Amino acid sequence: MPKEAVKTTASKGKTRITIRIDDDILDWFRGQVNAAGGGNYQTIQNDNEKIFSFARSLGHSTIIVVVNLSPEEQKVSVDILNTKLKLANSKLTLLFGKAVIAPPAEKMVIMVPAYGTQVWEVLP
């Protein structure tokens, strides 16, 4: 595993991970959350162990972040409907990153470059 991602076992059925993310991405994300006055965080299931995906929301605003923790481009299916965020019938707009495969209605199926990040805004 690359030094950018460190995986440690926390307890049975749970895994703790530590990632490195570009400062400009993190600064942008923190600015969005702080400008909105806070928010809620939820991990989102996907089918690739080299990908970390989560959503951040406040009120009616939600973003989805997909991070590739590997040195190789990865294809991933992100289960956006299997969340508490009620994302059915929502449109997704890419805010950061380069989309290779546009997301369908139920699952986002995308290609994420090596150590890449994609940030999507969820629109009603």
Domain boundaries, the chain: 21-123
| Domain at 21-123, CATH homologous superfamily | Golgi alpha-mannosidase II (2.60.40.1180)
CA distance 1 to 66: 18
Give percent above pLDDT 90 in the chain. 19
d(CA 124, CA 111): 24
Q: For residues 72-99, give the mean pLDDT.
A: 78
Q: Can you tell me whether residue 49 is helix, strand or coil? A: coil
In this predicted model, what pLDDT tens digit does every residue of 21-50 receive, in sequence order?
788 877 777 776 665 566 777 888 899 999
Structure tokens at 24: 């400009």
Identify the residue with better confidence: 114 or 26. 114
